[in-house]
Structure 1
């Protein structure tokens, strides 16, 4: 079972979230009317703690309700920023999702089993099967979209139980109103009009240069815009044919980052940097700065890559 991505781009990955469930998913025969459809799943809270020892119960729960798993680290600023946003958006789903938070530093077996290379890493369990959603920072507008589409994909697979918090049903929290330009970007992303979303974020940054969410959103949607309509095979082939071709290597680095291979994207561009002319170096440096915003400036991989870049520059 998979959550389909944009079929034209053929880029299944951790960052390109906008195409989730953009084409019909084949459910197992009879799944929609299965015994778990609409089942009430009673839990003490919509947000629970996961560990190496208790994770089996959440795998079992995911056969009845989709379980979002957040691997976090208290050492990661991106994790700290994501936690309240993810909890709020899961709560707004009114019992359609369960959130399980896992301390990546204290649970190495789960980190290895879920192939997490950075914190935060977010995956979803549907029918006992883990599927990657994203790593690092993701704009709230896109995160809201992907959670809604996870619910749709789970329902198509017959996993449509509802979480009921013991002592009362889960109630949706009123969604906070976005600033106008953020809302404009959100709406544009929803209709895959990335150019308009980019323009909205750029205008917001001109008005509020310290708006970190707008900066990260601009980097994120710019990545989506660059990858839109391109295929994995074409990108890989061009990069192999032109190891010092800046455009080809930037494209494949975008592909690596979109698939959650953050270290590979950083290493590729940092290894390329010394052989480029000044124009090529400027382009690579700007792309890396975009990546740092997408992944999260407090992430250890970003800290390491930033230090390597500084060494190359000075």
Structure 2
């Protein structure tokens, strides 16, 4: 895969104007934390919201801001976020990272046109810059960040922020050995090995919900890594009741953040099939529910429709 590169500054392509003038008094603490004398010291990694994004835009006039649009249910997001945080620390204050939960911040998701996540963009002097979509290997992200710094320098944005608030690896609790084995395998792109590690963890502790969720996520990533979206959609359109073809598109939709589209496709397939052929579709739906999380409203709605189809 070729290395993603920062795109042109997208003036007019994304409208952030409604986020620029929000009153700071009503906004939760965002990119700054109180410092001595009442000043605000920017953090290297922070959560950004619809309410406080005006502060993020202002910060981008001093230092390039990488924006990570993610969601709790998104497996590839959980794979990418630690890579982004590690590299932000590596760049020693020349970049900062704003994390945006798209479910909690729909205005930002809409403004950045986050049709698929993880979506990573940057802000340079208040203007958005396309970086990449999807879970990208660490070395490629590092190269993109170097190119982003060059682009920012061309726009006169060359500041840095203090590093006292940089993430500390020592402060993070160690993963259980099998979880660490799975994470290392994911870093290598070896999803089969990660699945084996999670299976071992579940054999040791069947109530390990993190291992169960991780197992579903890496199985999903393994299935979609070699699929072509256009070809998969064409095959599914040509064969509405072909289970394999519909599974491929549902998996691609889920991996890309189109959760309801994935669920609806599988539920429509379940409804169209004879009762004797429905079991694999139900199993795939339950697996996708586990990846997104049982408490998610979209899962609750889909479970309700599945129950009505069953009974």
Name the TM tier (shorter chain): 0.5 to 0.7
Q: Secondary structure at the residue paired with 1:99?
A: strand
Match of 1:200 in 2: 197
Q: In the alignment, which residue of structure 2 is the partner of 1:15?
A: none
TM-score between the two structures when normalised by the length of structure 2:
0.67
3-state SS of paired residue (1:298): coil
1:153 aligns with 2:132: no
Q: CA deviation at 1:251?
A: 0.7
Task: Judge conservation of contact 1:48–1:101 (CA < 8 Å) in 2.
Answer: no
Q: What pairs up with 1:121-140 in 2 under 5 angstroms?
A: 123-127=119-123, 128-129=128-129
Change in 2 beyond 3 A, CA 1:125/1:89: closer
Is the alpha carbon distance of 1:146 and 1:43 closer, same or farther for their aligned partners in structure 2, counting shifts above 3 Å? farther
C-alpha displacement of 1:243: 0.6
Q: Secondary structure at the match of 2:189?
A: coil
2:111 is matched with 113
Matched position secondary structure for 2:257: coil
Larger radius of gyration: 2
Q: Is the 8 A contact 2:45 2:97 kept in 1?
A: yes
Q: Work out whether residues 126 and 154 of structure 1, in 8 Å CA contact, stay in contact via their aligned partners in 2.
A: no
What secondary structure does 1:209 align onto?
coil
Seen in structure 2, the aligned counterparts of structure 1 residues 97 and 235 have a Cα distance that, compared at 3 Å, is same
Query: Does residue 90 in structure 1 map to residue 74 in structure 2?
Result: no
- 1:191 and 2:188 are equivalent in the alignment: yes
User: What is the CA distance between 1:253 and its match in structure 2?
Assistant: 0.7
Alignment of 1:183-262 (within 5 A): 183-262=180-259
- Compared CA separation, residues 103 and 280, structure 1 to 2 (3 A): closer
CA 1:251–1:102 in structure 2 vs 1: closer, same or farther (change >3 Å)?
A: closer
Give yes or no for contact 1:78–1:297 (8 Å, CA) kept in 2.
no
Residue equivalent to 1:308 = 305
Kindly provide the CA deviation profile for residues 95-130 of structure 1, in whole angstroms up to 9, marking residues without a partner as x: 55323456966x653343245689xx7643314236
Separation in 1, partners of 2:145, 2:48: 21
1:292 deviates by: 1.4
State the shift of 1:154 in Å. Answer: 2.4
Alignment match, 1:24? 3
Number of aligned pairs? 262
Q: Which runs of 5+ in 2 are unaligned?
A: 9-31, 33-39, 153-157
Find the residue that maps to 1:164 and give its secondary structure: coil
Paired residue for 1:274, among 253, 271, 274?
A: 271
Structure 1 residue 43 displacement after superposition: 3.5
C-alpha RMSD of the superposition: 4.0
Cα distance in 2 for partners of 1:147, 1:260 equals 21
| Cα distance change of structure 1 residues 47 and 194 upon mapping to structure 2, 3 Å threshold | closer
Contact 2:7 2:131 (C-alpha < 8 Å) held by counterparts: no
- The residue aligned with 2:176 is 179
**CA separation of 1:100 and 1:312: change in aligned 2, threshold 3 A:** same
Give the number of the structure with larger relative contact order, counting CA–CA contacts within 8 Å between residues 6 or more apart. 1
- Quick one: distance in 2 between partners of 1:102 and 1:232? 25
Question: What is the deviation of 1:256?
Answer: 1.2
The TM-score with structure 1 as length reference comes to 0.67
Partner SS state of residue 157, structure 1: helix
8 Å CA contact retained: 1:124, 1:130: yes
CA change 1:195–1:308 in 2 (3 A) is same
What is the CA distance between 1:90 and its match in structure 2? 3.3
Residue 229 of structure 1: how far off its partner (Å): 2.1
